[in-house]
């Protein structure tokens, strides 16, 4: 396939209007000698100065407090879109309204009330190979993307005074005609593994639907009550289970499903498990992704699947798009093969790769939907992209076929803490690249749909007009829409240079695999990925969720959360956000989430700046912290923090903070060991 380098697109960095958040003003002192100033809401005078320049590393890239020269962190990202970034300094905070990107779809809400007063909950799911507590529950079975999804509706009359719930099940493909009937299990026997009090079958209804009526709480032997948690599963037998079935499907035909937990009389599915047979929780303060949050991953051996699961509240209109999008995410665009065995190849996607590329499939960089692999010394950068600043010859990204960039070594330095502890930091050193460049590691991807659903106005409200007011100066990135050039708010990428997940995904397809779409086409050929296929990839990424926090009520973790807050980390890593009401995916609307980010750019100092400078060299978008406690599970024991994966521990990552975040590294250097350990425990819980 001939290569076409898309033209650069200028990006404007602009300051937006700000409002002080009362929740960030004041706060209890952590006992570490730092805290938020009750007057300004910024770090108190006992911590280091928080302006963008005071306390920053010098031009040699020395991290704050370091005893020797150390590297710059690749957290900075010049241009993640098909275009370069430029900065424009503007006085004042005037900012024109941004045109909304999309209008809400007309889908029914997840929970609603029917004309007869019944509380309706709509949901969907995929087949599972085993029960929730057994191995092979979390992986995706062969051919998961065809004939193997289903929808269901819960009609709840309990709040009306009746002890009655109707389950209406609609499979994508008809069940077996001559084999076992679709069965239904309800109300778990707590402490007895995967066993349920009632194991029965569904009754046939109209239009290919199957129905079950529940009239009592079998676990407690009484009528249903508002507030009960009703667990249930389906046992699925698809056409082809019996050789005499008409229109039988290819492959496996007998499956289990999720163990769904329904909130009786309240509506909606719950991620909380009350059965001690498995991992219990999460507690309410451990819910990170609102109603999108999935239950804890079980069994223990499958915790690496934590970032691979579908939103708990996925809707019937989107479940199949998610599964087909996942198939594309796992497609090798050189061979058309699926990266997991047992799945047929997509011949229409054979030979679409390259010739300029970093990877042949999305999963090469996002293994288990986590972060990219950090190269070893002497290895060519592949899952770490080499972004360029307005390079006339190579465009926005340097692929290995154009010039192989290698990680030559790590330059190390020691940072002394006030209690005598020394922490080794390392800075990657790369082979020569002509011009300014920015190495950037692929990021983990669950939860991105919820970040896309936060209203622009909420993000802009957190942008600081006067850095002296709060001590930090979050700045909004305004980016031209790749479709029509309309200025819009950027929120994705290391430097917030993508306006939407469609923008992010289409850019990654072009830059990392040289696969064209309607957003970034080859002007001399038709797009290689159809509009509908790009939409499926977007649906997949939008609906990837993550589990809640573990150990949220542990005293040490709670102490660490106090330290995190009182030190001032929440000035950028804002704990809570609310999604808007106008996102096209109803699952993502009106959710209270805890992503720990403001989605704004901050000056992080020379130490984390791009190796050879550039217009946005020191500027980085605040990375969300939700899910960081799962990284070791997903990434074979590694964290790979910061934009180039240099930080091996949470402590290393914090000690690299400089520029306007210098107060954070200064605070940690001066902390008592107990406070420092508690802070790390809190981060491990996210």
pLDDT in tens, 330-340: 999 999 999 99
In the predicted model, is pLDDT for residue 64 greater than 90? no
Q: Is 106 part of any domain?
A: no
Confidence of residue 402 (pLDDT cuts 50, 70, 90): confident
Q: Is 263 part of any domain?
A: yes
Confidence of residue 83 (pLDDT cuts 50, 70, 90): very low
Alpha-carbon distance 648 to 661, whole Å?
19
In the predicted model, is pLDDT for residue 24 greater than 90? no
Comparing 54 with 288, which gets the higher pLDDT? Answer: 288
In the predicted model, is pLDDT for residue 80 greater than 60? no
Q: Is 156 part of any domain?
A: yes
Q: Is 256 part of any domain?
A: yes
As a whole number, mean pLDDT of residues 570-579 equals 96
In the predicted model, is pLDDT for residue 585 greater than 80? yes
Q: Is 218 helix (H, G, I), strand (E, B) or coil?
A: coil
What pLDDT sits at residue 65?
59
8 Å CB contact between 61 and 610? no
For the ranges 295-299, 302-306, 468-472, 504-508, the lowest mean pLDDT is seen at 468-472
List beta partners, residue 199.
Answer: 185
8 Å CB contact between 459 and 578? no
Q: Is 439 part of any domain?
A: no
What pLDDT sits at residue 12?
44
Q: Is 76 part of any domain?
A: no
Q: Is 117 part of any domain?
A: yes
Q: Is 163 part of any domain?
A: yes
Confidence of residue 347 (pLDDT cuts 50, 70, 90): very high
Place of tokens 């998610």: 322
The structural domain count of the chain equals 1
Condensed to tens digits (0 to 9), the pLDDT of residues 429-456 reads: 999 787 788 889 999 999 999 999 999 9
What pLDDT sits at residue 99?
61
Burial 591-601 (b: 16+ CB within 10 A, else e): bebbbbbbbbb
Distance (Å) of CA 542 to CA 96, 164, 203, 318, 489? 28, 34, 34, 10, 18
Domain that holds residue 225: 111-267
8 Å CB contact between 247 and 174? yes
pTM: 0.88
282 preceded by a cis bond (ω within 30 of 0): yes
Confidence of residue 107 (pLDDT cuts 50, 70, 90): confident
Condensed to tens digits (0 to 9), the pLDDT of residues 284-310 reads: 999 999 999 999 999 999 999 999 999
As a whole number, mean pLDDT of residues 243-259 equals 95
As a whole number, mean pLDDT of residues 571-582 equals 95
As a whole number, mean pLDDT of residues 529-538 equals 97
SS3 track for 15-76: CCCECCCHHHCCCCCCCCCCCECCCCCCECCCCCCCCCCCCCCCCCCCCCCCCCCCCCCCCC
> With pLDDT > 90 as the criterion, what percentage of the chain qualifies?
75
Structural tokens at position 270: 């719950």
Alpha-carbon distance 504 to 29, whole Å?
40
Count CA atoms closer than 13 A to 335's CA, side-chain side: 9
């Amino acid at each position: 396939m001939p290569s076409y380098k898309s033209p650069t697109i200028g990006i404007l960095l602009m300051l937006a209007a700000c409002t002080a958040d009362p929740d960030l003003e004041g706060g209890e002192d952590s006992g570490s000698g730092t805290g938020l100033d009750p007057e300004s809401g910024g770090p108190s005078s006992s911590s280091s100065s928080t302006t963008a320049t005071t306390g920053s590393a010098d031009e040699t890239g020395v991290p704050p407090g370091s005893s020797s020269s150390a590297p710059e962190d690749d957290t900075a990202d010049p241009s993640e879109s098909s275009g370069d970034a430029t900065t424009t300094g503007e006085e004042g905070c005037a900012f024109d309204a941004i045109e909304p990107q999309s209008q809400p779809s007309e889908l029914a809400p997840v929970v609603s009330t029917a004309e007869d007063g019944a509380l309706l909950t709509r949901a969907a799911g995929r087949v599972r190979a085993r029960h929730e507590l057994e191995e092979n529950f979390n992986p995706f079975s062969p051919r998961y993307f065809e004939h193997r999804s289903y929808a269901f509706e819960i009609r709840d009359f309990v709040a009306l005074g009746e002890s009655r719930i109707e389950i209406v099940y609609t499979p994508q493909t008809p069940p077996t005609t001559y084999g076992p009937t679709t069965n239904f299990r309800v109300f778990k026997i707590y402490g007895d593994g995967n066993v349920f009090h009632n194991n029965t079958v569904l009754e046939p209804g109209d239009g290919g639907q199957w129905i079950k009526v529940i009239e009592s709480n079998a676990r407690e032997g009484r009528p249903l009550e508002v507030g009960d948690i009703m667990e249930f599963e389906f046992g699925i037998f698809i056409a082809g289970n019996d050789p005499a079935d008409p229109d039988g499907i290819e492959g496996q035909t007998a499956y289990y499903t999720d163990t769904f937990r329904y909130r009786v009389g309240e509506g909606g599915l719950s991620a909380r498990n009350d059965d001690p047979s498995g991992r219990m929780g999460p507690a309410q303060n451990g819910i990170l992704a609102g109603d999108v949050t999935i239950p804890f991953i079980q069994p223990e051996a499958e915790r690496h699947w934590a970032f691979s699961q579908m939103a708990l509240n996925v809707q019937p209109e989107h479940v199949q798009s998610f599964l087909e999008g996942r198939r594309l995410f796992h497609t090798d665009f050189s061979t058309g093969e699926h990266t997991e065995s047992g799945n047929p190849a997509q011949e229409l996607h054979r030979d679409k790769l390259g010739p300029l590329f970093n990877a042949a499939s999305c999963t090469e960089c996002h293994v288990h939907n986590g972060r990219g692999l950090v190269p070893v010394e002497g290895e060519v950068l592949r899952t770490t992209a080499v972004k360029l600043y307005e390079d006339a010859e190579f465009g926005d990204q340097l692929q290995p076929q154009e010039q192989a960039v290698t990680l030559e070594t790590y330059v190390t330095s020691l940072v002394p803490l006030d209690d005598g502890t020394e922490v080794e930091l390392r800075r990657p050193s790369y082979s020569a690249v002509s011009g300014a460049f920015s190495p950037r590691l692929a990021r983990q991807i669950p939860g991105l749909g919820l970040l896309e659903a936060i209203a622009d106005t909420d993000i802009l409200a957190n942008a600081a007009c006067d850095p002296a007011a709060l001590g930090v100066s979050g700045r909004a990135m305004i980016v031209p829409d790749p479709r029509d050039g309309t200025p819009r708010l950027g929120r994705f990428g290391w430097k917030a240079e993508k306006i939407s997940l469609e923008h992010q995904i289409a850019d990654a397809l072009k830059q990392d695999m040289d696969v064209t779409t309607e957003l970034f086409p080859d002007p001399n050929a038709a797009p290689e990925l159809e509009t509908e296929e790009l939409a499926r990839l977007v649906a997949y990424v939008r609906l990837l969720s993550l589990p809640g926090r573990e150990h949220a009520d542990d005293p040490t973790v709670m102490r660490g959360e106090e330290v995190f807050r009182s030190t001032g980390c929440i000035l950028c890593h804002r704990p809570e956000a609310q999604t808007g009401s106008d996102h096209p995916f109803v699952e993502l609307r009106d959710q209270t989430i805890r992503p720990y980010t403001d989605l704004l750019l901050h000056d992080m100092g020379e130490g984390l700046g791009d190796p050879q400078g550039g217009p946005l060299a020191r500027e980085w978008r605040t990375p969300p912290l939700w899910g960081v406690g799962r990284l070791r599970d997903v990434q074979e024991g590694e964290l790979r923090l910061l934009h180039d994966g240099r930080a091996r521990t949470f402590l290393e990552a914090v000690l690299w903070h400089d520029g306007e975040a210098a107060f954070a590294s200064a605070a940690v250097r001066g902390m008592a060991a107990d406070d420092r350990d508690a802070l790390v425990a809190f981060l491990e819980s996210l």
